[in-house]
Amino acid sequence: MSVTSSAAADPVICLASMSPRRRELLAQIGVPHTVVAAHVDETLLPDESPPDYVARLARLKAATVRRRGEALPVLAADTTVVLDGAVYGKPADRAEGLAMLAALAGRAHQVLTAVALATAAGVALRVNCSTVHFRDIGREEREAYWQTGEPRDKAGGYAIQGYGGVFVTALSGSYSAVMGLPLCETAQLLREAGIRYWIGAAP
């Protein structure tokens, strides 16, 4: 179902994501939008590199919603955590969630976020790579974090903007990209397509 982000302004894009974080980030830069779930297969292909994986999914999500007849330009994004070349997606269960946190603890990992914009002219893409450093995390704290419910639907099993922020000792890159939508790259795509942001801002 389509949902309009603001009654104050007509939507200028469709967001192909049900993520409340991505909706908040778009609202932060003044982009009125509707929301439609893409519902695509997110399985990693054999021998697919992490950058190719997030780029393919972002393009696929945007193009899928566009092909369904969406008239507005469609923005989509995909985020994954990468450690030692391995993709850490959303944990399937408690055991996997705890294992992910144990692997990330005390180390630096990469967060890849691809953002795609599908218009009548085609699909444009940007990919952001940020590095996040975690402190050590003991088993008791890992288990307590899992019990908050926050890690269950998050790439890498944590949310930097939530309770998981207590694990982060340093970030090199884009905070909004680690949340799930790189605002600089998103604004670049919108600007190149002639789509406004900062709608409603004072002149």
* Active-site residue set: 78
User: Interior CA angle at 23 toward 171 and 116, to 5°?
Assistant: 75
Helix (H) or strand (E) segment spanning residue 114: strand 108-119
Kindly tell me the sign of the dihedral angle through the C-alpha atoms of 161, 17, 77, 108: positive
CB contact at 8 A, 23 and 5: yes
- Residue 29: CB atoms within 10 Å: 17
162's tokens? 């939530």
Helix (H) or strand (E) segment spanning residue 78: strand 74-83
d(CA 35, CA 68): 14
Paired strand residues for 130: 111
Cβ-based neighbours of 103, under 8 Å, separated by 6 or more: 83, 88
d(CA 150, CA 41): 23
